[in-house]
Amino acid sequence: MTDMPASKVDAALKPPRNQWWDVWDQFKTHKGALVGLIIFSLILFGVTLGPFLWRIDPTYVDPNPVNMLKLRNQGPSFAHPFGTDQLGRDLLARLMAGGKVSIAVGMTAMLLSLLLGTLIGVLAGFFRRLDGILMSMTDLFLSLPLLPLLLLMVTLFREPLSQRFGTEAGIFMLIVVAIGVTSWMQTARIVRGEVLALKEREYVLAARSIGTPARRMVLRHILPNVMSPIMVSATLGIANAIITESALSFLGLGFPPDFPTWGRILFDAVDQMQLYPLRVILPGVAISLTVLSVNYIGDGLRDALDPRIRGR
């Protein structure tokens, strides 16, 4: 003990490092993921705080018809950095408002699909009796043609829901639920596999031998250990949900026209893309950049959370 160098003693006396610091260290080495994280944070920052700095109402149409006609379809200028659209609305403000909706839809749908996937995966992996039926249900969902069904659900239920909850809230709920219900299957499969492997570990046996009830077993011992695959599928889920939402909006089946989302802005601009290509490119670049950065974050997270790669 006495011949130990001082620095080593210090290291030994320090409280043990949280494992998430190791994950962060590994994550930092993945350049693409780091750039993705920076870009995604910038976009998130722009859409949440941007409207406080750029205070033009995204749905403002000049009430004076002459002014409105003059303001239509302008190119980039000092007053409107990205120009204006076919009704003279400011494109920068619309992009920020649209991004807020698109990202909110992506996040909420991802949370719903994670919740469903984790619940079904843990139940199927932990309780042998439920395994057969839950996994055949997962297979059934995987063999559904998802995009046609999604289109069907959205067209069939948009009217009653928007009457009951108001246009925006109703359609938001509908799209989030539709995307969540059709995208939980991969998460469920991955989580089930992990749970099945974890169940055979000694610490689970030890916990069971002291009489831990099933609920606490799942919440305290199983769930924290399946966090890493869940986090990876969370990032992929956001990307998937943003693309699906904008595809729905692009097909004209998403949010109503006066309620901007990136897909909707792109869809509105397609008719005049020969004259004003910028109006198509900007929302498209916004969607693509967001999805690309989220996918890179997912890639980096997968490497960082894999203990076989970490520390190498």
Partner 1 sequence: MLTYTLRRLLIAIPTLLFISFVIFMLLDLAPGDPLADQPLTIPPEVREKMRAALGLDQPAWVRYLLWLKQFFWTEPLHTFDVMFGTSFAEGGQRIISWQFRSPAMDVIWQRLPQTLWVVGLAYVVGVIIALPIGIISAYRQYSWFDQIGTFVSMIGFSVPTFFTGVVLIIVFAVNLHWFPSIYDTTLKVTDWESFWKQVRQMIMPVTVLALFNASQISRFMRASMLDNLGQDYVRTARAKGMSEKVVVLKHVLRNSLIPVVTVIALGIPTIFGGAIITEQVFKVNGLGQLLITAIYANDLPMVQTLTFIFAALTVLFNLIADILYGVLDPRIRYD
Residues that bind partner 1 in the complex, under the rule CB under 8 A:
32, 139-140, 142-145, 147-149, 151-153, 155-157, 159-160, 239, 243, 246-247, 250-251, 253, 266, 270, 273-274, 277, 280-281, 284, 287-288, 291-292, 295-296, 299
Closest distance between partner 1 and the C-beta of residue 174, in Å?
A: 12
Q: Which is nearer to partner 1, 31 or 220 (CB)?
A: 31
Closest distance between partner 1 and the C-beta of residue 40, in Å?
A: 12
What is Dmax (Cα atoms) for the chain?
88
Closest distance between partner 1 and the C-beta of residue 205, in Å?
A: 28
Q: How many C-beta atoms surround the C-beta of residue 151 within 10 A?
A: 16
CA pair distance 264, 286, nearest whole angstrom: 12
Closest distance between partner 1 and the C-beta of residue 210, in Å?
A: 37
Q: Which is nearer to partner 1, 159 or 258 (CB)?
A: 159
**Residue 32 CB burial class (10 angstroms; 0-12, 13-18, ≥19):** middle
Closest distance between partner 1 and the C-beta of residue 204, in Å?
A: 27
**299 Cβ neighbours under 8 A, 6+ residues apart:** 30, 32, 33
Q: Which is nearer to partner 1, 64 or 136 (CB)?
A: 136
CA pair distance 33, 162, nearest whole angstrom: 39
| Concatenated DSSP letters of 153-168 | HHHHHHHHHHHHH-HH
Q: Which is nearer to partner 1, 158 or 221 (CB)?
A: 158
Token couple for 192: 């089930």
Q: Which is nearer to partner 1, 49 or 152 (CB)?
A: 152
- Using the CB atoms, write b or e for 288-310: b if 16+ within 10 Å: eebbbbbbbbbbbbbbbbeeeeb
Residue type, 281: I
Closest distance between partner 1 and the C-beta of residue 130, in Å?
A: 19
Q: Which is nearer to partner 1, 79 or 285 (CB)?
A: 285
Token couple for 48: 């949440």
Closest distance between partner 1 and the C-beta of residue 189, in Å?
A: 14
Q: How many C-beta atoms surround the C-beta of residue 155 within 10 A?
A: 13
Q: Which is nearer to partner 1, 37 or 204 (CB)?
A: 37
Integer CA distances (angstroms), 170 to 95, 255, 309, in order: 22, 10, 45
